[in-house]
Structure 1
Amino acid sequence: MARFADAAPLVGDRQTLWRTLQTFNFTRVAIALVLLVYLSINAHTGFWLYGDFLYRQACGVYLALAVVGALTTEFWRRHFLLQLTVGIAIDLLLITALYVAAGGAKSGLAILYLFPLAGGAVLAPTVLALFFTALVALTLLLESAWQLLNFTSESTISQAGLFGAAFFAASYLLNRLAARLLKQERLAVEHGTDLRVQQAINQLVIADMRDGVLVLGPDITVLTANPAAERLLGLANVPQAERRLARITWLAPIAQAHAAWSAGGAAASFVMIKPAEEKMAHLRLRFASVDAAVPDNARTVVFMQDVSEIENRAQELKLASMGRLTASIAHEVRNPLSAIGHANSLMIEDAADPVQLRLLNIINDNVGRLNRMIEDILRLSRKAQTGGEPVSAALLVPEIVEEFRESQALRPGFIHVGAMDERSVLFDPLHLREVIVNLLSNALRYASGRDASIRLFMVSDAGRRRELHVQDDGAAITPEVRSHLFEPFYTTSRKGTGLGLYLARELCLNNGATLDYEYRTDSWNHEQGQASGRFVITLAAPDAAVQTE
């Protein structure tokens, strides 16, 4: 075992060997004290072969040298092998002096050699440890031979040989055991280093992921969240102690999806959430359980992907495809459709049969529907890219609502306009008019007809964010329909073209705003705490330099 003779021993090896040598030196101090007390008690006549041997002085010197060695190891950790060799050499010299002076084998002090030899076997290379053992065995044999030459009646050669063999066996076994333990520690240090590196890599990868990762406890408390999840779920300002999905209002859909998955549902699901002061996010969730031996330590990992960008990209591709068809639709469909409509109008004027008149009216309605669809397509292709201009929603919105009410011959009070923020917003006035008219036309199909069946109101905070809500008292849109609500040509009404909401969203995006359908618990004309649906336009605010109060 090379120990510190190796070319490049590990840091863990050095620390272990120095700690062991330090323990060895402190143990030497304790043995020196025990020897001083023991030999003082047994200092009667006949115990020492040489009566003038200064045993107390020898033990005192041994104790002093042991203390010096312990302090040296504590404060000067250099030349490990030199310190070890000097310490064992001092041990062997003083123990040999005591052994010979006390009469050799009959004194029973040969057992003291085991301490330095064991220390050398654990800390020194194999060759050096066996060298120390050989010196002790040779010393025992020489002392026994001397005793045999001078006292023929007391032969101790065999006893010395047994001690030597026992010391060799113990030294070799301890040396091999220490080598194996040191190798195991080296492997543990290497594995620990690899584990820390892998953990750092995992943390870096998870931190840079665009997808969110959550780790939930048994009570659906958020234990860990990567930066993407913090951003998607708006957890940055939520204290760790309060990060329980069931307690955070806007994360209730995730808690419901987790409950459905726990009950045996699909591992993947889609939810819509809107964190505080954030835009609506459409998330794809995938749940995975972490096996744990203890149920209380069970963990669930939630992988979250924001599919809003994918949906927007898909809509852009649809718009690009639709733009390529606009010219041919305008030239190949619009002109024949106008001729059909004109001919149908002439036939209606001359029609006398009620059945024939009903059929002609059906034709006229469908011609009008097709004409509106073409007009919507043409508006999409002609819409200008604009950053909007500062307008006062408090003045413009009531004006648009009044014009719509008059054009639809609605009674006063049917549409209720709530409080409006006096601050300006960025929006092209014509675009805002078209967006609101589209939303009001959609709400008119589903409203009950009572007073204030349709409501428009603004929600604002102390910052720069303002929301315009358009809500009716009809049934809320189901999540299944919600996922396709803004797709081109998607409609649930026989009279709709499927382009109104899509056009409204595109116009909002062109003005730096967003349009979405949300479920809010601040409901009106609904049971307390029950979420109701409404269209929400998140408006952009102008710069402070042009802000009007």
Structure 2
Amino acid sequence: MARRQPLSAASRETFWRSLQTLNVTRIVIALVLLLYLNFDARRGHTMGSAYAETCMFYAVAALLFAAVTRYYRHRFLWQLCSQILVDIAVISLLYLAAGGARSGLGLLYLFPLAGAAILAPLVLALFSASLATLFLLAESTWQIFISDNDPALFQAGIMGAAFFAVVVVVSRLAARLIRQEELAARRGADLRIQQAVYRIVVDDVGDGILVVGRDGFVFSGNPAARRMLGLDADSLDTGDGFRLADIPALEPVAQGFEAWLDAEPAEAYVTVKRWQGQAGQVRGRLDQPVHLKLRFARVDTPDGAAERSVIFMQDVSAIENQAQQLKLASMGRLTASIAHEVRNPLSAIGHATSLLAEDLHGPAEKRLLRIVGDNVARVNRMVEDILKLSRKVQPGGEPVHLKAFLAELKAEFTETHGLADNMIYIGDAGERTVRFDGLHLREVLVNLLGNAIRYASGKPASIRLFPVLDATGRVELHVQDDGPGITPEVRAHLFEPFYTTSSKGTGLGLYLARELCLNNGAMLDYEYRVDGPGGFDAPGRFVITFTI
């Protein structure tokens, strides 16, 4: 038994369950024998008191064995051997009481022998078969001396050989099943260990992880993902899941995922805005907007039965802020001396250029002077932007009425840049007001409109400004043009200081615009969206989200 005893707890539990099943079968056999006795008694036949007493004893013993096995899970081999010996003894007594080989009860030996072959080592199972065979041969031999009829010695020999054959075959099959179960138990234990390690890694990793279907249905996510998206724990732990598009604030994530499914780049940058409340069965709250870098990967499933994808989310807000702070740390040390060390020489160069322009009239000289003038203006603009960063005046004044403010801004901007009156479209702002310093808001929008002119087609309504309400009731101002969208590579550095894709730009315009928004409690970001009043096929827009 030591060699057959499994090492895993699961296999040992299987042995005890099999022994309990053997006990239940024994009870059924005892009841069948009692019913058979009662049936024969009604027909006028009698089996003798020994047969009845033996059946009653067997039924009681079967119940006792079942109770012991259920409540005393110790000494498995002793319990099994005692039960098998009782089975052989009882069946032998019934065999004698029923008239020997003529009764056909010799087949009952197969029950305990099969049980021994399954649960006991082969040696013990063969010993049990030998006991049953020796009894049958002994009984047949005894009939030679006390009976005139031909004894069933040959039949007893055949039955004994069958006993040994059954024991060997069943034992081999049981041993193979036991080895397979032990292998499955070990692999199951390894799998549980891997799952435990996976849960620890996934739960502790800083990046958010979402497992989604092709339709954007979220099946599971780690704590970091719940934290980034503002979801309650039970929104993913209940197993019901939800679709990303069901929550308006998560639409940028859903759209980035859909774009990736359409063979777009495997990375996207989105902003998840503040939201709270309940959308269907999904509950959660996000107090601050987060900027997320999304990476997508497909899961290889067998035969593609269930298509799954994984969305990796990285909160790049802190990374962006850290990169900006590193750049501003060095820039801050220069700010104090820029006014005297740079602006004064620039003024002198600009003045000298103007004087030279009065005396030089040749085409080559004019071209060189124009180059000098353009670069002086560019450096001076950069100095002005840097100085503005150091003058973060706290917002004040009266709330801004968007309808009148945008109309005035459009008229001024159109006249200044010589644009057609219908090139800039302003949506209906109603009576909405926002808390924002008027001068700061004008500077932010002038910067955004200046970028839009550079890429817009110039057609009527090719630039649009339209206020809307987000899911939480905050006012948003969308600025969009019909030009090509910003690529993900540029989006990753869009609001970094000194980053520009234009040879004439300083790289401080968008950064300054965002800083002014933050200074007024608002948020400026670029979103990949094609819905809403904009009506363009362009995949993105600048969005200013005002505070309530």
Question: TM-score, normalising length from structure 2?
Answer: 0.73
1:99 aligns with 2:95: yes
Change (3 A) 1:136 1:330: same
1:193 aligns with 2:199: no
Structure 1: unaligned runs, 5 residues or longer? 542-549
Bigger shift: residues 195-204 or 448-457: 448-457
Deviation track 1:44-82 (CA, whole Å, cap 9, x = no partner) reads xxxx9xx99435524642563366347636864555556
Deviation track 1:264-299 (CA, whole Å, cap 9, x = no partner) reads xx6x33354556747474534233341422x44343
Give the whole-Å Cα distance in 2 for the aligned partners of 1:170 and 1:230: 60
- Aligned partner of 1:499 in structure 2 is 508
- Aligned partner of 1:111 in structure 2 is 107
Match of residue 121, structure 1, among 113, 117, 122 = 117
Give the whole-Å Cα distance in 1 for the aligned partners of 2:169 and 2:251: 67
Match of residue 259, structure 1, among 262, 275, 280 = 262
Give the 5 Å matches for 1:200-349: 200-217=196-213, 221-229=217-225, 240=241, 242-243=243-244, 249-250=251-252, 251-260=254-263, 268-272=266-270, 274=272, 277=275, 279=289, 281-293=291-303, 295-307=304-316, 309-323=318-332, 333-348=342-357
Whichever residue aligns with residue 122 of structure 1, its letter is I
Deviation track 1:77-100 (CA, whole Å, cap 9, x = no partner) reads 555556544543443333222333
* Residues 480 and 541 in structure 2, CA contact (< 8 A), matched pair in contact too: yes
Number of corresponding residues: 518
Secondary structure, counterpart of 1:297 in structure 2: coil
Q: CA deviation at 1:170?
A: 3.5
Change (3 A) 1:401 1:342: farther
Change (3 A) 1:498 1:61: closer
1:27 aligns with 2:25: yes
Give the whole-Å Cα distance in 2 for the aligned partners of 1:324 and 1:225: 44
Secondary structure, counterpart of 1:475 in structure 2: coil
- Aligned partner of 1:375 in structure 2 is 384
1:479 aligns with 2:487: yes
* Residues 54 and 93 in structure 2, CA contact (< 8 A), matched pair in contact too: no
Give the whole-Å Cα distance in 1 for the aligned partners of 2:213 and 2:472: 35
Give the whole-Å Cα distance in 2 for the aligned partners of 1:474 and 1:36: 93
Q: CA deviation at 1:513?
A: 3.6
* Residues 47 and 97 in structure 2, CA contact (< 8 A), matched pair in contact too: no
Deviation track 1:366-419 (CA, whole Å, cap 9, x = no partner) reads 423322222223444x345x8x45654326996799699779965998986944
Whichever residue aligns with residue 354 of structure 2, its letter is S
Give the whole-Å Cα distance in 2 for the aligned partners of 1:475 and 1:532: 10
Bigger shift: residues 529-538 or 399-408: 399-408
Bigger shift: residues 109-118 or 74-83: 74-83
Bigger shift: residues 177-186 or 447-456: 447-456
Q: CA deviation at 1:534?
A: 4.3
Give the whole-Å Cα distance in 2 for the aligned partners of 1:217 and 1:180: 41
- Aligned partner of 2:280 in structure 1 is none
Secondary structure, counterpart of 2:379 in structure 1: helix
Q: CA deviation at 1:533?
A: 5.1
Secondary structure, counterpart of 2:507 in structure 1: coil
Task: Give RMSD over aligned pairs.
Answer: 5.0
Give the whole-Å Cα distance in 2 for the aligned partners of 1:298 and 1:533: 29
Change (3 A) 1:486 1:28: closer
Whichever residue aligns with residue 504 of structure 1, its letter is A
1:535 aligns with 2:542: yes
* Residues 254 and 271 in structure 1, CA contact (< 8 A), matched pair in contact too: no
Match of residue 15, structure 2, among 17, 27, 34 = 17
Give the whole-Å Cα distance in 1 for the aligned partners of 2:25 and 2:459: 96
Give the whole-Å Cα distance in 2 for the aligned partners of 1:306 and 1:219: 24
Give the whole-Å Cα distance in 1 for the aligned partners of 2:409 and 2:39: 118
Q: CA deviation at 1:472?
A: 6.4
- Aligned partner of 2:399 in structure 1 is 393
Q: CA deviation at 1:255?
A: 0.8
Q: CA deviation at 1:126?
A: 4.9
The structure with the larger Rg is 1
Structure 2: unaligned runs, 5 residues or longer? 276-285
Give the whole-Å Cα distance in 2 for the aligned partners of 1:126 and 1:148: 33
Bigger shift: residues 439-448 or 116-125: 439-448
Deviation track 1:278-327 (CA, whole Å, cap 9, x = no partner) reads 7474534233341422x443434444445454444434333344445657
* Residues 270 and 283 in structure 1, CA contact (< 8 A), matched pair in contact too: yes
Whichever residue aligns with residue 96 of structure 1, its letter is S
Match of residue 171, structure 1, among 160, 167, 175 = 167
* Residues 216 and 257 in structure 2, CA contact (< 8 A), matched pair in contact too: no
Identity within the alignment, %: 48
Whichever residue aligns with residue 17 of structure 1, its letter is F
Deviation track 1:103-130 (CA, whole Å, cap 9, x = no partner) reads 5456554333232232233334555544
Secondary structure, counterpart of 2:323 in structure 1: helix
Bigger shift: residues 369-378 or 305-314: 305-314
Whichever residue aligns with residue 54 of structure 1, its letter is S
Change (3 A) 1:196 1:373: same
Change (3 A) 1:145 1:318: same
Secondary structure, counterpart of 2:263 in structure 1: helix
Question: TM-score, normalising length from structure 1?
Answer: 0.72
Change (3 A) 1:66 1:496: same
Q: CA deviation at 1:25?
A: 3.1
